Amino acid sequence: MEKERFSLLQLDPGEIYFEDFSAIFIPPDTTPKTYETKKQDGRLKMCSKSLIFDPKDINKPIVKIPFKDCVVIEQWKGSAKFLNSNNVLSVNCREYVELLEKNVIAPYQFKGSANFLFLLNYANITNCLPQISQLHRASSLPAAEQSDMIATIVHSRQCRDNFDPRWMDLYEKIIMDFQADKITPLVVNPGRIVLTSTKLYFQPYNQMGEYPLKIDLRSIKQIVKRRFLLRHIGLEIYSNANSTNHTYFSLRNQSLRDTLYEQLLQHPELKLNDIQQDVMTLQWQNGVISNYDYLLYINSLGDRTVNDLTQYPVFPWIISNYTSRELDLDDCANYRDLSKPVGALNSTRLLRLLERYNEMPDPKFLYGSHYSTPGFVLYYLARLYPHYVLCLQSGRFDHPDRMFNAVADAYKNCLSNMSDFKELIPEFYDVAEGGKFLLNNMGINFGYRHNNVKVGDVQLPPWAQSPSDFVNILREALESDIVSKNLHNWIDLIFGYKQKGEEAVKANNLFYHLCYEGAVDLDSIPDLNERHALEVQIMEFGQIPKQVFKVPHPRRKLGDSIPVEPYQIHQNKIILDDQWKNAESLDLHTSFKSHKNTVSHLFINENGTQITSVGHDSKLKIFSLSQNKQIRSASIGNMPLSSCIQLPNINKLVVASWDNEISLYDLDYGRVTENVLAHEDAITCMSFGYKNNLLVSGSGDCTVKIWKGLNSDGVIKPIQCLHKQIDHNSQVNCLTFNVENDHLAVGTEDGDVYIWEMNSFTLIKKLTLQSSAINTISYSPDGTKLGIGSRDKVFQILDVNSGMTVFNTVLLSNVSSLKWNDFLLVIGCDDGTLQVWDIFEVRLLLEIKAHSGSVKTIDISPQREFIVSGSQDRVIKVWKPKINV
């Protein structure tokens, strides 16, 4: 059977194809002698706004007869010797359309009045004519009422259309069966969705396609809720199936959409590989995923999809130089300012727009045109998808001079035109496709420009040798350090906190009010015509993406974190790091059981040869790893000890205890040389800044005290050394310096995190992250992030500059301790669990039940050869990665 030329894209946007009939078309000038040569076999398509005849002969044009241009549609009452039948449909129209003559994609040919006869081969005209006449009557109504009437017809027909169970396997059972639409660009195709015990089916009731769409539930990898035509009724399904890897459905209402979503998620056959938003953000920051892939992901979060031209993915203009013969990607002057919307890139134009804005009544806007609309998307893609353009523009291509003819002209227009502020689309950076959208490979006749030059391929900048070269250079620019350093600013404008409201006004990023979700509640408008008019306006003005981020987006970490080291040391590190990444379990290397109560704190010395610990048994102990034994034990007072620190350059330890005191322990003499009453309540934590020579202590008295000026003997005297006291609203549970020692992060009992600047001792940020206590806190090695563990089982990573949570996970037990060293982050929990994470790739490497009590303290050796954990069960354990050969 020959494939039909008919496509749903030959309908008007939103038009519905109902059914077709085998028919013979008799052209108006047919005579008895010419009947056999002029008659055309084909299919007559009944659609919601037109009749379409698709002849078998591909050299003949498809004929489209809009109902609104029909004068009379009736059963033919005439007579002709060559037409001895009363099963003939007669259509008299003022205008009709011919398309795809000789199967060539070209602008539609609009013809004048004509009378058409269609002999129906099998269908009975008395059954078909009432349906066609009903649609003809609907075409005379105002647009909104016509849409409402067609929707009623569609619903009625769908209710009579049942799913064919013959497509199912023997033991398959139906779980859900309901009406839905399949959405592709510019096309809405009604049908039925059927969820069974093993598959998801879509059966279009017009039977476009030989078989219903069938998606094996085991092949589904991602399910995303979408907003379709401003309503939260869309559902997009990604699967491994070759023919159905990207399917978009629209349901009748949000409740039904959510029900299907929940049913799918609960299905035992379903195995999704969804990556959480915070994981993607952290992976992007660490360079695990590219700028290109991250922008695609954020677009998806913002309800942008290639299946909907009204919400097509949006990408930024990156390069600003399209005239030079050479392009230096290391020169910032060749890049667009990503902190500004397109409309604000030209300061002269912006001033004119602001003048208009200031004189405008509410609701005000700076830009009457959007950065992404169906028309703008197809402006770029006209050569790749000419049939989409013909569908959107009623069978016409754009004027040749207004087409996307040259990249330089397009960018210049976006900088200077008072109504052109469009951004780019992913195809500009898609190296896999190689810039095919820039070539007129189909040989489409788009016409001639004013200079008599025929529209062909897009003219590229002088620095690009070919479309693939152009796209490769743009992609290289997108992934450059210059863009990575600034891309978060553009994300703030399009998907983030500068997208709307006061921040949008400050950023000169304000669009027409109907572009914003929630600007109008269409469901609350009873007048069909008013609602339809608003829908058309919203589609034409473009839609702002769903707001993904409510706080400033963190910037990307540039690739400068690997220190310059001797080659052999660096190679050894790589080997050790690979051991962690490939380890199958944790191997207990050794353990020490000499504490008589909870091990509260421990650290490994800088050579990785000794472990120093303190506990609630008032004991300080030192263990030699090379000798595998305890080499020192000392009593420090008679109260539990909470923390200990090795002072630099002198052989002394600072020890904190619950009796409010800080003690100095001299390792050379094996005794306490000084006790200082430091706080009014138990000291809970300490940290030492080795670059600024500051000791900080936190306490149950809600204060952190900063001690400075330790002399060569390590003497601490409050009058001489107490430099500053900083107050908090509740008990201080943990604190940590960043790598430069210029910031101090403090976690408190009421769930707040304070970040202090240590030169001026001023509060930079106060963040209320949890409703329960912050138990443990650790800066990342580069100082840009904070790892935070709390008493409500939550572990999260905070971007310090933006204050945004870039990773969040709920564990099975409260987080009691954590330690961060390069890519390796280790978490200890109250249930004795130890977790080892690769925090660059954001994946859990290892998890083990390490202790019978809460893991109170963790340290990682300087070169990451091993991990040490101390617990409420009184035991210290040393762990190494185990690789089974």
- Asked if 462 contacts 323 with a C-beta cutoff of 8 angstroms, the reply is yes
Question: pTM, whole model, 2 decimals?
Answer: 0.87
Residue 611 sits at φ, ψ, to 5 deg, of -120, 130
β-sheet bridge partners, residue 634: 620
The C-alpha atoms of residue 593 and residue 425 are separated, in whole angstroms, by 62
Residues 405 and 462 in one domain: yes
Q: Which strands sit side by side in the sheet containing 867-871, from one edge to the other?
A: 585-592, 876-882, 867-871, 855-860
- Spell out the long-range contacts of 255-259 with Cβ–Cβ below 8 A and sequence spacing 24 or more: 256/178, 257/225, 257/232, 257/233, 258/225, 259/176
The C-alpha atoms of residue 167 and residue 189 are separated, in whole angstroms, by 20
Residues 64 and 173 in one domain: no
- Asked if 435 contacts 454 with a C-beta cutoff of 8 angstroms, the reply is no
Mean pLDDT computed over 814-838:
95
CB neighbours of residue 473 within 10 Å: 18
84, with CB counted inside 10 A (0-12, 13-18, 19+), is exposed
Last residue of a domain, one of 106, 141, 176: 141
- For 814-849, b/e burial (b = at least 16 CB within 10 A) is bbbbbbbbbbbbbbbbbbbbbbbbbbbebeebbbbe
- Asked if 91 contacts 26 with a C-beta cutoff of 8 angstroms, the reply is no
pLDDT digits (tens, 9 = 90+) for 602-618: 999 999 999 999 999 99
pLDDT digits (tens, 9 = 90+) for 641-681: 999 999 888 889 999 999 999 999 999 889 998 888 999 99
Alpha helix stretches (DSSP H) within 664-796: 718-721
Residues 513 and 391 in one domain: yes
Residues 136 and 175 in one domain: no
Q: In the prediction, which pLDDT does 77 show?
A: 85
Residue 175's contacts (CB-CB under 8 Å, 6 or more residues apart) are 195, 196, 197, 263
- pLDDT surpasses 90 at 162: no
β-sheet bridge partners, residue 178: 193
Largest CA distance in the chain: 126
Domain-embedded: residue 825: no
Q: Using alpha carbons only, what angle is made at residue 12 by residues 8 and 17, rounded to the nearest 5 degrees?
A: 45
Residues 501 and 362 in one domain: yes
H or E segment to which residue 178 belongs? strand 174-184
Last residue of a domain, one of 498, 522, 541: 541
Task: Provide DSSP, 459-483.
Answer: BPPTT-SSHHHHHHHHHHHHTSHHH
Q: In the prediction, which pLDDT does 210 show?
A: 55
The C-alpha atoms of residue 820 and residue 859 are separated, in whole angstroms, by 8
Q: In the prediction, which pLDDT does 107 show?
A: 96
Mean pLDDT computed over 184-198:
91
Q: In the prediction, which pLDDT does 577 show?
A: 74
The C-alpha atoms of residue 322 and residue 411 are separated, in whole angstroms, by 8
The C-alpha atoms of residue 874 and residue 870 are separated, in whole angstroms, by 7
Percent pLDDT > 70 in the chain is 94
The C-alpha atoms of residue 397 and residue 447 are separated, in whole angstroms, by 9
Q: Is 197 helix (H, G, I), strand (E, B) or coil?
A: coil
Average model confidence (pLDDT) across the chain: 90
Q: In the prediction, which pLDDT does 815 show?
A: 96
186, with CB counted inside 10 A (0-12, 13-18, 19+), is buried
Residues 336 and 441 in one domain: yes
The C-alpha atoms of residue 106 and residue 749 are separated, in whole angstroms, by 71
Where is pLDDT greater, at 474 or 32? 474
Residues 126 and 25 in one domain: yes
Mean pLDDT computed over 215-238:
90
Residue 70 sits at φ, ψ, to 5 deg, of -85, 135
**Upper half-sphere CA count for residue 5 (Cβ side, 13 Å):** 22
Q: Domain range holding 492?
A: 306-541
812, with CB counted inside 10 A (0-12, 13-18, 19+), is exposed
H or E segment to which residue 137 belongs? helix 125-138
Q: In the prediction, which pLDDT does 81 show?
A: 65
- Asked if 864 contacts 821 with a C-beta cutoff of 8 angstroms, the reply is yes
The C-alpha atoms of residue 534 and residue 526 are separated, in whole angstroms, by 12
Proportion of the chain in helix, strand, coil states, percent, rounded to 5 = 25, 35, 45
Mean pLDDT computed over 1-17:
81
Last residue of a domain, one of 524, 541, 558: 541
Q: Is 177 helix (H, G, I), strand (E, B) or coil?
A: strand
Residues 369 and 499 in one domain: yes
Task: Provide DSSP, 272-321.
Answer: -----HHHHHHHHHTTSS-HHHHHHHHHHHTT--TT-GGG---B---B--
Domain-embedded: residue 137: yes
Domain-embedded: residue 704: no
Residues 223 and 111 in one domain: no
Residue type, 303: D
Q: In the prediction, which pLDDT does 719 show?
A: 57
pLDDT digits (tens, 9 = 90+) for 549-584: 999 999 998 754 333 344 344 555 566 678 898 889
Domain-embedded: residue 518: yes
Strands annotated E in 714-780: 722-727, 732-737, 743-748, 752-757, 762-768, 774-779
Alpha helix stretches (DSSP H) within 462-617: 467-478, 481-484, 487-494, 501-506, 528-541, 567-582
Structural tokens at position 245: 């890897």
Domain-embedded: residue 745: no
Task: Provide DSSP, 765-822.
Answer: EEEE--SS-EEEEEE-TTSSEEEEEETTSEEEEEETTT--EEEEEE-SS-EEEEEEET
Number of compact structural domains in the chain:
3
Domain-embedded: residue 48: yes
- pLDDT surpasses 80 at 97: yes
Beta-strand relationship, 703-708 and 824-829: unpaired
The C-alpha atoms of residue 700 and residue 684 are separated, in whole angstroms, by 7
pLDDT digits (tens, 9 = 90+) for 296-347: 999 999 999 999 998 999 999 999 999 999 999 999 999 999 999 999 999 9
The C-alpha atoms of residue 302 and residue 296 are separated, in whole angstroms, by 10
Q: In the prediction, which pLDDT does 205 show?
A: 82
Range from 235-244, 500-509, 572-581, 850-859 carrying the lowest mean pLDDT: 572-581
Q: In the prediction, which pLDDT does 717 show?
A: 64
- pLDDT surpasses 80 at 714: no
Residue type, 742: D
Beta-strand relationship, 661-666 and 833-838: unpaired
Q: In the prediction, which pLDDT does 561 show?
A: 39
Beta-strand relationship, 815-821 and 824-829: antiparallel
Q: In the prediction, which pLDDT does 560 show?
A: 43
Residue 576 sits at φ, ψ, to 5 deg, of -65, -40
What's the CATH number where 362 sits? 1.10.1540.10
The C-alpha atoms of residue 822 and residue 639 are separated, in whole angstroms, by 35
The C-alpha atoms of residue 685 and residue 644 are separated, in whole angstroms, by 9
**Upper half-sphere CA count for residue 472 (Cβ side, 13 Å):** 8
Q: In the prediction, which pLDDT does 709 show?
A: 60
Residues 374 and 511 in one domain: yes
Beta-strand relationship, 109-111 and 96-99: antiparallel
Structural tokens at position 841: 């790739």
β-sheet bridge partners, residue 215: 200
The C-alpha atoms of residue 100 and residue 59 are separated, in whole angstroms, by 8
646, with CB counted inside 10 A (0-12, 13-18, 19+), is middle
What's the CATH number where 174 sits? 2.30.29.30
The C-alpha atoms of residue 320 and residue 486 are separated, in whole angstroms, by 15
Q: Is 59 helix (H, G, I), strand (E, B) or coil?
A: coil
Where is pLDDT greater, at 541 or 51? 51
Residues 31 and 73 in one domain: yes
- pLDDT surpasses 50 at 472: yes
Domain-embedded: residue 324: yes
Bond prior to 185 in cis (omega within 30° of 0): no
The C-alpha atoms of residue 859 and residue 878 are separated, in whole angstroms, by 10
User: Quick one: how far is CA 443 from the chain centroid?
Assistant: 36
Q: In the prediction, which pLDDT does 650 show?
A: 83
Mean pLDDT computed over 724-729:
95
Residues 360 and 498 in one domain: yes
Domain-embedded: residue 642: no
- Asked if 426 contacts 296 with a C-beta cutoff of 8 angstroms, the reply is yes
Alpha helix stretches (DSSP H) within 229-276: 254-265
CA-nearest of 486, 544, 485, 490 to 513 is 544
- Asked if 289 contacts 518 with a C-beta cutoff of 8 angstroms, the reply is no
